[in-house]
């Protein structure tokens, strides 16, 4: 009996020991790059020369910082250190005073003989428990992104905490697209979207605080697992769509969508704008070919096939900015949710709100129909972030709504 009991326990102990060993080895040799994992900061954190990191990662360009979301190999001997990574602007003495540590201990740890000597941009490491040394933009105490690997057609967010309330104006640029930046005292959120054709690039994320030199790091993007492909055939009157009216409607709506709409007007996670539907008849990003032409355009929203007259609901709180019948979109309502986020509901047979109305989540804004350029009863729901169409289904799945409010230290139910 004794042996019978003892052996499985021993075996379990041995197994758990083996598992822990394997996990520890894996995490010590490969990491996923986070914002602020510059070559210099990684070298300090793992006590490895930068040259060793370059030679272990020949697939990465040593002239650029490691891209956020990519995997990086470390030597098996790498030992992570905790502490603060700094590129000082004054002398080491000034840095020590501002961080409340002894200048001599920094000098010793960083191999500097005289703490009064100007630091000349040489990185400094200040040991401290529970802090991961990262090279963050000047004035940032923390910085994180909504997804380490970006996916085209989705909302992209960054959030951080500033060291002081008035650190200066913060600008954030992804590739050549300036993000919408919002702050609540020290808490800051940057938002944008990427188009569904964005692809597997490594755009550069650039953040600048006041007059400080910009901080830069590339960011890995990947294609989603699959896009839908749709071949549409237009005949008769549908083939003679008034292209000028389409362009005019689009231009007018973009004037609205490009406005930075002020504080967040939602306090809870977004919900579907329709409770009862037959199926999702077209997903966001579905590539579209017209009359056997190339797949040059994509579907800019989500289509819910539903019976005519089904109520259409506000997915979250906001203010109605459009409520009228449009040429392409038919019976249309657009809600401004704040922070540059707009949702639109199109092809409706009736409209139940007026511009300026403040709506609550679940409030009826209209009824499903087939008005405008539409071939059957359905609701087209679109969602724009920073004047870029994004996948509303992914937005719901990711919980971006609460992620953003958390970043601004506002409650989200
Ligand atoms: Zn549609």
Domains recognised in the chain with CATH numbers: 30-127 (3.10.350.10), 140-218 (2.60.40), 229-407 (2.70.70.10)
- Tell me, in angstroms, the distance from the centre of ligand 1 to residue 300's CA: 7
Q: Residue 25's pLDDT is what?
A: 43
Strand partners, 131: none
Q: Residue 6's pLDDT is what?
A: 44
DSSP 8-state symbol, 357: -
Cβ–Cβ < 8 Å for 190, 144: no
Question: Residue 34 and residue 160: Cα distance in Å, rounded?
Answer: 13
Q: Residue 114's pLDDT is what?
A: 67
- Tell me, in angstroms, the distance from the centre of ligand 1 to residue 374's CA: 8
- Tell me, in angstroms, the distance from the centre of ligand 1 to residue 299's CA: 6
Runs of H (alpha helix) within 192-334: 243-257
- Tell me, in angstroms, the distance from the centre of ligand 1 to residue 357's CA: 25
Question: Residue 50 and residue 54: Cα distance in Å, rounded?
Answer: 6
- Tell me, in angstroms, the distance from the centre of ligand 1 to residue 302's CA: 6
CA nearest neighbour of 344 among 329, 362, 328, 357 = 329
Supply the DSSP string of 153-222, one letter for each residue: TSEEEEEEEESSTT---EEEEETTEEPEEEEETTEEEEEEE--TT--S--PEEEEEETTSPPEEEEB-B-
- Tell me, in angstroms, the distance from the centre of ligand 1 to residue 331's CA: 13
- Tell me, in angstroms, the distance from the centre of ligand 1 to residue 380's CA: 4
Question: Residue 335 and residue 319: Cα distance in Å, rounded?
Answer: 5
- Tell me, in angstroms, the distance from the centre of ligand 1 to residue 280's CA: 10
Q: Residue 12's pLDDT is what?
A: 45
Q: Residue 170's pLDDT is what?
A: 94
Strand partners, 229: 287
- Tell me, in angstroms, the distance from the centre of ligand 1 to residue 393's CA: 13
Using DSSP's 3-state secondary structure scheme, residue 144 falls into: strand
Structure tokens at 47: 């006590």
pTM of the model: 0.85
Q: Residue 117's pLDDT is what?
A: 63
- Tell me, in angstroms, the distance from the centre of ligand 1 to residue 400's CA: 22
CA nearest neighbour of 329 among 369, 297, 296 = 369
Q: Residue 14's pLDDT is what?
A: 45
- Tell me, in angstroms, the distance from the centre of ligand 1 to residue 318's CA: 22
- Tell me, in angstroms, the distance from the centre of ligand 1 to residue 231's CA: 14
Cβ–Cβ < 8 Å for 84, 99: yes
What are the pLDDT digits (tens) for 152-179?
999 999 999 998 887 789 999 999 999 9
- Tell me, in angstroms, the distance from the centre of ligand 1 to residue 304's CA: 8
- Tell me, in angstroms, the distance from the centre of ligand 1 to residue 174's CA: 28
Question: Residue 64 and residue 39: Cα distance in Å, rounded?
Answer: 9
What are the pLDDT digits (tens) for 269-302?
999 999 999 999 999 988 888 888 888 888 999 9
Contacts of 343 (CB under 8 A, 6+ apart): 273, 315, 316, 318, 334, 335, 337, 381, 382, 383, 384, 392
Q: Residue 87's pLDDT is what?
A: 77
Q: Residue 17's pLDDT is what?
A: 45
CA dihedral (74, 77, 78, 80) positive or negative: positive
- Tell me, in angstroms, the distance from the centre of ligand 1 to residue 381's CA: 7
- Tell me, in angstroms, the distance from the centre of ligand 1 to residue 260's CA: 25
Cβ–Cβ < 8 Å for 370, 390: no
Q: Supply φ then ψ for residue 159, to 5 degrees.
A: -145, 145
Strand partners, 125: 85
What is the residue-level pLDDT of the chain in tens, covering all 413 positions?
Answer: 444 444 444 444 444 444 444 444 444 489 999 999 999 999 989 989 999 999 999 999 999 999 999 999 999 888 888 988 887 666 777 777 777 777 777 777 776 666 666 555 577 888 888 889 999 998 899 999 999 999 999 999 999 999 888 778 999 999 999 999 999 999 999 999 998 888 788 999 999 998 888 999 999 998 776 788 888 787 766 667 778 888 999 999 999 999 978 899 999 999 999 999 999 999 998 888 888 888 888 899 999 999 999 999 999 999 999 999 999 999 999 999 999 999 999 999 999 999 999 999 999 999 999 999 888 999 999 999 999 999 999 999 999 999 999 999 999 98
Using DSSP's 3-state secondary structure scheme, residue 273 falls into: coil
CA nearest neighbour of 163 among 86, 69, 66, 80 = 86
- Tell me, in angstroms, the distance from the centre of ligand 1 to residue 290's CA: 15
């Amino acid at each position: 009996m004794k042996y019978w009991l003892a052996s499985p326990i021993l075996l379990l102990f041995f197994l758990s020991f083996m598992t822990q060993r394997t996990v520890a080895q894996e995490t010590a040799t490969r990491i996923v790059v986070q914002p602020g994992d510059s070559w210099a900061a990684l070298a300090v954190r793992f006590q490895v020369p930068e040259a060793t990191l370059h030679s272990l990662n020949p697939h990465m360009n040593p002239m650029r910082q490691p891209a956020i979301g990519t995997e990086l190999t470390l030597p098996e001997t790498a030992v992570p250190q905790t502490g603060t990574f700094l590129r000082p602007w004054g002398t080491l003495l000034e840095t020590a005073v501002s961080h409340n540590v002894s200048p001599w201990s920094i000098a010793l740890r960083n191999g500097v003989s005289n703490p009064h000597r100007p630091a000349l941009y040489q990185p400094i490491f200040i040991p401290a428990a529970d802090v991961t040394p990262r090279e963050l933009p000047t004035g940032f105490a923390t910085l994180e992104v909504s997804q380490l690997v970006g996916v085209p057609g989705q909302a992209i967010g960054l959030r951080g905490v500033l060291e002081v309330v008035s650190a200066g104006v913060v600008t954030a640029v992804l590739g050549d697209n300036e993000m919408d930046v919002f702050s609540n005292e020290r808490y800051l959120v940057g938002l944008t979207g990427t188009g569904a054709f964005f692809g597997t690039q490594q755009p550069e994320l650039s953040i600048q605080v006041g007059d400080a030199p910009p901080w830069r790091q590339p960011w890995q993007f990947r294609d989603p697992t699959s896009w839908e492909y749709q071949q549409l055939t237009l005949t008769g009157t549908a083939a003679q769509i008034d292209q000028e009216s389409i362009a005019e409607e689009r231009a007018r709506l973009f004037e609205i969508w490009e406005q930075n709409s002020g504080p967040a007007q939602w306090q809870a996670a977004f919900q579907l704008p329709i409770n009862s539907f037959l199926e999702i008849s077209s997903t966001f990003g579905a590539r579209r070919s017209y009359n056997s032409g190339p797949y040059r355009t994509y579907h800019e929203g989500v289509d819910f096939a539903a019976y005519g007259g089904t109520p259409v609901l506000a997915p979250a709180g906001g203010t109605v900015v459009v409520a009228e019948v449009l040429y392409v979109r038919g019976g249309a309502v657009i809600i401004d949710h704040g922070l540059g986020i707009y949702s639109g509901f199109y092809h409706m047979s009736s409209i139940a709100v007026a511009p300026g109305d403040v709506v609550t989540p679940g409030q009826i804004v209209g009824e499903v129909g087939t008005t405008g350029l539409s071939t059957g009863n359905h609701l087209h729901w679109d969602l724009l972030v920073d004047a870029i169409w994004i996948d509303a289904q992914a937005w719901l799945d990711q919980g971006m709504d609460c992620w953003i409010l958390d970043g601004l230290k506002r409650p989200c139910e």
